[in-house]
Structure 1
Amino acid sequence: MLYEFDRGSTAPEATKNIQARPALANQKAVNLLHDNSRPHVAQLTQQKIEQLGWEVLPRPPWSPDLAPSDYHLFLSLRNYLCNKHYEDFNELKLDLTAFFESKPSSFYRRGIEILSERWANVVENNGDYIVD
């Protein structure tokens, strides 16, 4: 399951959104990767995660080398946006939508799958930042 929490949403709202999508809510195991921002470490959030039986994957506080959004998604997005210029915000928004919709589910899945490889690299480098 891959679920992106909307900025400003609460744990109960996110839970309701996930439960409204049976394919997500009925997963046998959920591994949750998120940062340590206040909403994620709040007691209410932690209680809900425990109630749902989800496992929170460990992650250092600031680690873009271990964040699939940073090392996989944004790298591809940066290449896509290279040398592009937009007349207005709406044009940018439309192009970003086209980018995200053009990516097959296998693209997003691969970003998650290589996470374990990246964790192993961090361990091999004694916790040092990975430079691609």
Structure 2
Amino acid sequence: MKVLLLLLLVVTASGRVFHRCQLARALKCAGMAGYAGASLGDWVCLARWASHYNTYTRRRQCDGSVGYGIFQMSNRQLCKDGCTPSQNICHVPCRRLLTNLRSAIHCARCAGRRASYWTIWRRHCQGRNVNCYIRGCGV
């Protein structure tokens, strides 16, 4: 079973749109259930509202920064795009967040629960029943 889940992570090496349960299983395999105090439902909810489960999402934010990938990581704080001054907390090129789920998960772990990164989560997921995002997924 672990080999199958590991293969799921390896297959995600190019940009793609996940089905809700595919993402839930991949995040569980990567140890995200309970990470930084967030449930697996919280992570899947974040991905739903941030990118509609699409790793290749790139979106300009109100403050002029750009969010990259399935979790919309900021080019000013979390990744480096080569154009914008960045803290690059995740030590990753932003373009990798568009094509590599493992890099996005690594970056989410680096960001942890720092409130400024999770505006989308606070708006759509915080304080709500997020179990519906993993219901029927077998996780």
Q: Same fold (TM over 0.5)?
A: no
Please give the TM-score of this superposition, normalised by the length of structure 2: 0.30
Quick one: higher RCO (CA 8 Å, sep 6+), 1 or 2?
2
The structure richer in helix per residue is 1
Q: Which has the larger radius of gyration?
A: 1
